[in-house]
Amino acid sequence: MSIKHWIPKRNRYTIGYILLLFILLFLLRAIWKTFPLRRPLYTHPDIEEIILSWSKVIYEYPDYTKPRKGPGENGKGVHLKGAEAKLSVQQVEGSPFMSVIASDKISYDRSLKDPRSIACKNVYYNTEELQTASVIIVFTDEPFSSLVRTVHSVVNRSPKNLLKEVILVDDFSSNTDLQENLENHLSRFRGLEPLLDRITENPTSVVCPVIDGISADNLEYLGGSAGGVGGFWWSLHYKMEVIPESEKQRRKNPDVDFLRSPTMAGGLFAANRHYFFEIGGYDEGMEIWGGENLEISFRVWMCGGSIEIIPCSHVGHIFRAGHPYNMTSTLGEPDVHGFNSKRLADVWMDDYKRMYYRHRTNLEFADAGNLTERHNLRKRLKCKSFKWYLDNITPYMFIPDENVKAYGTVKNLQSELCLDTLQRNENKGTVILGIFACQGGKGSEAQFFSLSKDDELRRETTCVDVQGSREQKAVLRECSKKHSKFKVEDKRFVHVRTGLCLDATGLESGNDLFFAPCNASNMAQQWVFEKYLEHV
């Protein structure tokens, strides 16, 4: 197994090792003059600018069977006091959005509790029959200690015969002290074998470990479980979904069996190298962050592969409150997620890209760069349609303008104002529904509603409901067959459970909506959809 940068075990050299190192340096210096290598763009006192083989001679593997003492050992958080605690809070609330002080106190060979299930611990993998792996760690301005701990963790917890190499890729770090986001994959629990076992069994599967949480505040290892699958919003942001019933029925041993997932988070996955590049690798027209995970997910499924979560493989991730690196593209574009998502929408989503452009009307006619190569890739691979993906991979996905009774803006006949979320984030909990001036043209995504076949007045994943026995506010919350039913009577939305009507009496643009006893003569209770697909 080789590594691009040698990262030594600090304070554990012997004189013999030092002499050996000087001999190697002398030989490499002579070779360097004859065959100069490209020098790294950054330096650090603990990283030599040479390429060396990783071996037991220069690396001592830790013995995790023995108790270890020290900050952060066994996955515990680091508790700081005084000035260090204050500085740590500043680091968590601003860039790099994690406690570097806590990270620096933790050993590179940190011990952790094993988060795997008992069933996973008892699975035997014949490592002699598995493919070898190259672990690629991409980093941008990552605190040095978390980067080095990542490398140590990969080496310490991977079978020697399976780990071919660790490749560190500096993705435009601005700090010369070797820092980066690297997606912070700090810990593995024999996670390589389950991934390689599935890839060996099915080379067209792109497999993902369970992502365990690590606190950005004190680096406590929080663990995780394979309790859901990846999904997406029509805004093309990643989200987690409950495990579909079909997957629950298919899996005989849910603690061990792979889990088919419509999408993946993106920063943590393994794939057969030949297959990954055969289906197009990464879209090289994308920049920095965002969109690539859904693009790969759609492409893999539509072109004959699968995205899978492997419950017996765990990798830790520091979940931060912000991005610790510059999110501006090389062309000065600050919205790299929108730019990247436009590329995937225009290539892979067919007519359903209209749903994305309801969220991002400003990007519909924007320049996404040259897409010829990606369109040709899709033709060459003879990939299926995005409708096939929706019908077969995410059949439960709600399509706001299909298989509904009505959709679009919902206008009040008295005030001529429209239902509006008022930019409140309905995806993080219950929010109050409002009313606002109707937007012209294609309208605003915040004003897009549907009347479903199940008689729900709804959004993408939330439904209108009544909250409170006195104020009877109109709210958006998780859809429920019991609480989300409406019937339409003379253009009034009658809430079935309470018998109340959606009311805008006396409201102005920007006000919150409420429910009131139905009154057939009150035009403030009458509403019309922009478009009807059925008579209601």
Residue 161 pLDDT exceeds 70: yes
DSSP H/E element including 316: strand 306-318
Span 500-515, pLDDT tens digits: 999 999 999 999 999 9
Span 249-294, pLDDT tens digits: 999 999 999 999 999 998 889 999 999 999 999 999 998 888 999 9
More confident residue, 362 or 463: 463
| Neighbour-count burial of 251, counting CB atoms closer than 10 A to its CB (0-12 exposed, 13-18 middle, 19+ buried) | middle
Span 458-477, pLDDT tens digits: 999 999 999 987 779 999 99
* Predicted pLDDT of residue 45: 36
Report residue 53 as tokens.
């083989």
pTM comes to 0.77
* Predicted pLDDT of residue 395: 95
Query: What pLDDT band is residue 383 in, cutting at 50, 70 and 90?
Result: very high
Of the chain, the percentage scoring pLDDT greater than 90 comes to 50
Distances (CA, A) of 298 to 191, 304, 409: 25, 10, 29
Distances (CA, A) of 178 to 38, 69, 341: 17, 27, 30
User: Among 442, 420, 427, which Cα is nearest to 510's?
Assistant: 420
Q: How far apart are CA 266 and CA 167, in angstroms?
A: 18
Q: Which residues contact 517 (CB under 8 A, 6 or more apart)?
A: 500, 501
Residue 6 pLDDT exceeds 70: no
Residue 389 pLDDT exceeds 90: yes
Mean pLDDT to the nearest integer, 412-433:
92
User: Among 260, 55, 42, which Cα is nearest to 140's?
Assistant: 42
Mean pLDDT to the nearest integer, 163-176:
79
Span 14-62, pLDDT tens digits: 333 333 333 333 333 333 333 333 323 233 333 333 233 333 335 678 8
Distances (CA, A) of 437 to 264, 352, 358, 510: 38, 27, 17, 8
* Predicted pLDDT of residue 42: 30
Span 129-141, pLDDT tens digits: 998 888 888 888 8
Whole-number average pLDDT of the chain: 83
Query: What pLDDT band is residue 215 in, cutting at 50, 70 and 90?
Result: confident
User: Among 318, 138, 147, which Cα is nearest to 219's?
Assistant: 318
The domains located in the chain, with CATH, are 1-60 (no CATH), 404-532 (2.80.10.50)
* Predicted pLDDT of residue 55: 36
* Predicted pLDDT of residue 441: 63
* Predicted pLDDT of residue 16: 38
Residue 488 pLDDT exceeds 60: yes
* Predicted pLDDT of residue 66: 87
